[in-house]
Amino acid sequence: MKNPYNPIGAKIVKIEKISSINKLFTIKIKDEKTRNAFKFRHGQFFILSVPGFGEAPFGFCSSPAIKETFQVSVDKRGSLTSKLFELKVGTDVGIRGPYGNGFNRKKIKSRDLVLVAGGCGLSPLRTIIQDANLNPKNFQNIQVFYGCRNSKLLAFKSDYKKWSKNIEMNLTVDTPDKAWKNSVGVVTNLLTSETIKSDSVAILVGPPVMYKFVIQKLVELGLSNEDIYISLERRMHCGIGVCQHCALVGGKYICTDGPLFSYAEIKDTPEGI
Ligand X SMILES: Cc1cc2nc3c(=O)[nH]c(=O)nc-3n(C[C@H](O)[C@H](O)[C@H](O)COP(=O)(O)OP(=O)(O)OC[C@H]3O[C@@H](n4cnc5c(N)ncnc54)[C@H](O)[C@@H]3O)c2cc1C
Residues near ligand FES (CB under 6 A) are: 236-239, 241-246, 253, 255
Site for ligand X contains 156 (CB under 6 A): no
Torsion angle, alpha carbons of 25, 66, 254, 219, to 10: 110
41 contacts which partner out of ligand X, ligand FES, none, CB within 5 to 8 A by kind? none
**Considering beta carbons, is residue 8 or 21 the nearer one to ligand X?**
21
Q: How far is CA 5 from the centre of its chain?
A: 23
Q: Which is nearer to ligand X, 70 or 163 (CB)?
A: 70
The overall longest dimension of the chain from CA atoms, in Å, is: 60
Instruction: Work out what residue 73 binds among ligand FES, ligand X, none; the CB cut-off runs from 5 to 8 Å by kind.
Output: ligand X
Contact 256, 240 (CB under 8 A): yes
183 contact partners, CB below 8 Å, separation of at least 6: 170, 171, 172, 173, 189, 190
Q: Which stretch binds ligand X (CB under 6 A): 76-84, 153-161, 168-176, 209-217?
A: 76-84
Distance in Å, CB of 75 to ligand X, minimum: 4
Cβ neighbour number for residue 81 with a 10 Å cutoff: 18
* Contact of 204 with 228, CB cutoff 8 Å: yes
Contact status: 206 vs ligand X (CB under 6 A): no
**Strand locations in the chain, DSSP E?**
8-19, 22-29, 45-50, 54-59, 70-75, 92-99, 113-118, 142-148, 168-173, 183-184, 201-205, 228-231, 260-262
Does 74 engage in binding with ligand X (CB under 6 A)?
A: yes
Interface mask toward ligand X for 54-73; x: CB under 6 A? --xxxx------------xx
Q: Could you give the string, one character per residue 123-142, with x where binding to ligand X holds by CB under 6 A and - elsewhere?
A: x-------------------
Among 43, 102, 147, 259, binds ligand X (CB under 6 A): 259
229 binds ligand X (CB under 6 A): no
Nearest-angstrom CA–CA distance, 52 and 90 = 17
Partner in contact with 79, chosen from ligand FES, ligand X, none, beta carbon below 5 to 8 Å by kind: ligand X
Are the C-beta atoms of 111 and 139 separated by less than 8 Å?
no
The nearer residue to ligand FES, 25 or 253, going by C-beta atoms, is 253
| Min separation Cβ 37 and ligand X, Å | 22
**Which residues is 28 bridged to in the sheet?**
11
Residues 34-53 that bind ligand X (CB under 6 A): 45
Q: Between 136 and 250, whose beta carbon lies closer to ligand FES?
A: 250
Rounded to whole angstroms, what are the CA distances from 30 to 11, 34, 182? 7, 8, 43
Could you list the residues that contact ligand X (CB under 6 A)?
Answer: 45, 56-59, 72-75, 77-81, 120, 123, 233-236, 259
